[in-house]
Amino acid sequence: MQVIATRNGDDGTLMWGWDHPSIAEPLRKHARKVREFGEQHGYNWLTTQMIHCPEDKAWELTALACKLNEAQGAYRGPSGNAAIFMTFDNVRLTKQD
């Protein structure tokens, strides 16, 4: 699991995971790849730490992260008035005893 960004539902801002103070360093890899892509192609909204972003656009950005990182999928998890957008790889289901 990798954190791409968090989105504040109160003010509609999105903070990228590549430089998010609440995200542990190992969970920022996929978000960093999005930033690198933005730097290579001159997309300021991928390289600016906090942007105004409607929820559907946050999903699009997470899908971009999924594509760039060849992840299996994406998930949006609630966290109070915020949402955490994540990508994931190698899902394994196991039966509990």
pLDDT tens, position by position, 59-91: 999 999 999 999 999 999 998 899 999 999 887
Residue 45 pLDDT more than 80?
yes
* 85, 5 contact by CB (below 8 A): yes
> Which residues share a beta bridge with 88?
73
Strand (E) or helix (H) holding 4: strand 2-8
Instruction: State phi, psi for 35 to the nearest 5 degrees.
Output: -60, -45
Closest by Cα among 29, 47, 27 to 37: 47
Residue ranges per structural domain of the chain: 2-88
Which residues, at least 6 apart from 37, have a Cβ–Cβ distance to it below 8 Å?
Answer: 43, 46, 64, 68
